[in-house]
Amino acid sequence: MHQYWGFGLYITSEIEFPELYPFPFSEVPDITIQYGNTPKELRGEPTLKRVDMLVAPTEYLLKVNGIASYYASNGNRIIVQPAAGADISSVRLFLLSNAITAILYQRNTIPLHASAVVYNEKLILFCGHSRAGKSTLATKLNALGYPIFSDDICVLKISNDDKLVIYPSYPMSKLWEDSFDLLSVQRSELNVQLRPHLAKYGNYFHGSFDMLSRDIFCTFILNDSHPATKEDVEIRKISSMEASLALFKMPYRQLQLDGMLKRAVNFSTLSKLSTTSSVYEIRRDQNLNTINLLAEKVIELIHFK
Amino acid sequence: MRIDVAKKIVWLASYPKSGNTWFRMFLSALLKNDGAFNINTPEIQGIFSSRALFEQFTDFDSGYLYRHEVLQLLPEVFTEFANLNQSSEKLFLKVHDAYILNEKGLPIIPAAPTRCAVYFIRNPLDIVASFSNHMGKSFDQMILTMNNPMAFLASQKNNLNNESQFPQLLLSWSEHVLSWKYVTQFPVLIIRYEDMLADTLATFSRITDFIGLQASQQEINKALATTSFHQLKQQESTAGFNEINPSRSFFRQGQAGKWVDELTKEQANLIISTHGTVMQQYGYPSSLIME
């Protein structure tokens, strides 16, 4: 069995994950990932059914045609049944993007759709939906000296002493091919394709991976529904109430959250985030490459904050 | 074929730039019926190719899925879409995709939740300039697209998969028309854009009757006035239109027969020689221009 640290949890797995951070441990694992036969139905009554997905408060079942079925239960166990001849990188991708988040919700933690970089030992979060530009911005800031803490998902939970705790997911950032062009960098041989026919590439950062949680410095929300109207890049501080309303929509895999009846956990966790840190909204002219200007404006703001 | 009124989805189908948006705007105004119509907040439910809509009914980040995987899921997605909108009597969805089958041999447009479809057809000679303006490409490039049996809308190169809409297979213009014309699983009403222009009230009334919308002539006239070409263009020039790159204008001229002034003889003949058979069926010029 392979042992890893990821999403703030001890993971033991029959599947080898080059994406995860290898970490030998003697404790009881938080999550066990095993090959096996996934059930056809949930044991309990589903609270939410969608295409090829069933969810109940402590169970999650997903079928990805031609790839695998995944069954995640009780916050501690994932069973994977790969399809015959399935590409293993695809099997791993849907496990890391779907089955793991089900486990996180089952454990009353919130997988926030956010990338994060480190500034003065604290975290700057960039929240946004898919294709909003989180990873591109984090990669740009990483190149300017602000190390990437986590890409795409940050795991949030409220500790026993009522503090907000934020863990990274795993040491790989992911970029679409066109983001390399936006950043004016060459894709290297070290970048790994997430699926064989997908132009999205992972970049490992195991060497600088931060296992521990960090305090929050500030939060940015990338608004991709409303473009900037006055300048190429507009950043404005938003009120705690406005921030809460925007952040409530930012957990990764919202359907899982609803199906597992975690709206109260989502509310308390993200309310804590909105009151613990300043929250800013970013709007951009979506027809321009604004990455350099955006990075400059973010850096200027955090230095004068 | 009779319409099954228990089913909800009404597809508003067309090749691009064929009157679909005009009808959607009219429909929005008719359904809203308070005179406060806004082109950027139509009262209909979306577009078939929307990733955001797809992601509401699956647990996937659609960017991680291959095209054939998406096509397999689409029929189930829109069946689920109808199931979860039980309170709505009708659900209107725009679609530019040709009516094709997925790898399982199933139509990507599911019959189970489909009430009917309205297919808007326009003289392809007039589409050229309008499509060119919309895409920011030359007339010759658009003619190549319209004649290409494997043409896509919103396609991405080199396995990129991160636009807000899925790539849509159009086929060639003729094949697009025929793919919808020969649908047997639900009723399809074919409407000529030129008839929408020339005999507006009668043509729009025919569509609302077909769909099963209860609307008086007065209500239809009011919705038509609110969404006249002039009104739509004016709203676009003051507030912009979120269905097109802001550097271009969506509502261009909206006229029929302008191709005579826009296309060269060679350009027109490239369209006619490829699509003449289908053009003739719908009363469009189908003889090659000799002079």
Q: What is the pTM for the complete model shown? A: 0.91
Query: Distance of alpha carbon B44 from its chain centroid, rounded?
Result: 13
Q: State how far the Cα of A99 lies from the Cα of A67, in Å rounded to an integer.
A: 13
Residues 6+ apart with CB under 8 A from B34: none
Judge: domain A110-304, CATH 1.25.40. no
ipTM for the whole complex:
0.94
**Could you tell me the mean pLDDT of each successive run of 10 residues in chain A, 305 residues long?**
97 97 97 98 94 97 97 98 97 98 98 97 96 94 96 96 96 94 88 94 95 94 88 93 94 96 96 94 90 95 87
Look at residue B63 and tell me whether its pLDDT is greater than 90: yes
pLDDT band at B202 (very low <50, low <70, confident <90, very high): very high
**How many angstroms separate the Cα of B218 from the Cα of each of B22, B34, B202, B204, B221?**
19, 13, 12, 12, 5
Top pLDDT among A138 and B2 is at A138
Q: Do B58 and A52 touch (CB under 8 A)?
A: yes
Please report the residues numbered 251 through 270 in chain A whose beta carbons come closer than 8 angstroms to any beta carbon of chain B. Answer: 253, 255-256
B280: left (phi over 0), alpha (psi -120 to 50) or beta: alpha
Q: Between B265-281 and B173-181, two packed helices, what is the crossing angle to 10 degrees?
A: 10
Q: Any CB–CB contact under 8 A between A122 and chain B?
A: no
Beta bridge partners of A218: A124, A278
Residue B270 phi/psi, 5-degree rounding, is -60, -40
Q: Are B29 and B106 in contact (CB under 8 A)?
A: no
A92 token code pair = 């791993």
Q: Which domains does chain B have, with CATH numbers?
A: 9-256 (3.40.50.300)
Chain B residues inside the 8 Å CB shell of A197 = 66, 159
Q: Do B61 and A287 touch (CB under 8 A)?
A: no
Give the type of residue at A160.
N
Identify how many contiguous H helices and E strands chain B contains and give both numbers.
12, 6
Any idea where the domains of chain A sit in the sequence? 2-106, 110-304
Contact (CB<8Å) B164/A131: yes
Instruction: Give every CB contact of residue B36 below 8 A, 6+ residues apart in sequence.
Output: none
Which string of b and e fits A99-137 if b means at least 16 CB within 10 Å? bbbbbbbbbebbbbbbbbbbbeebbbbbbbbbbbbbbbb
Asked if B243 is an interface residue toward chain A (Cβ–Cβ < 8 A), one would say no
Residue B113 — pLDDT band, cuts 50, 70, 90? very high
Put simply, whether B161 touches A (Cβ < 8 Å) is yes
Structure tokens at A56: 């109940």
Cβ <8 Å between A253 and B59: yes
Which residues from A are below 8 Å from B77, CB to CB? 51
Cα dihedral sign, B19-B21-B22-B24: positive
Please name which of B67, B102, B125 lies closest in space to residue B280, comparing C-alpha atoms.
B125
Q: What is the pLDDT of residue A186?
A: 87
Question: What confidence category does residue B243 fall into, taking pLDDT thresholds of 50, 70 and 90?
Answer: low
The answer to whether the CB atoms of B164 and A97 lie below 8 A apart is: no
Contact B76 A52 (CB under 8 A): yes
A174 lies within 8 A of chain B by CB: no
Rounded to whole angstroms, the Cα distance separating B119 from B20 reads 8
* Residue B246 near chain A (CB below 8 Å): yes
Q: A98 and A62 in contact (C-beta within 8 Å)?
A: yes
In chain A, residues 140-159 whose CB comes closer than 8 Å to chain B: none
Determine the Cα–Cα distance for residues B284 and B277; give it in Å rounded to an integer.
10
Position B35 scores a pLDDT of 61
Burial readout B3-22 (b: 16 or more C-beta within 10 A, e: otherwise): beeebbbbbbbbbbbbbbbb
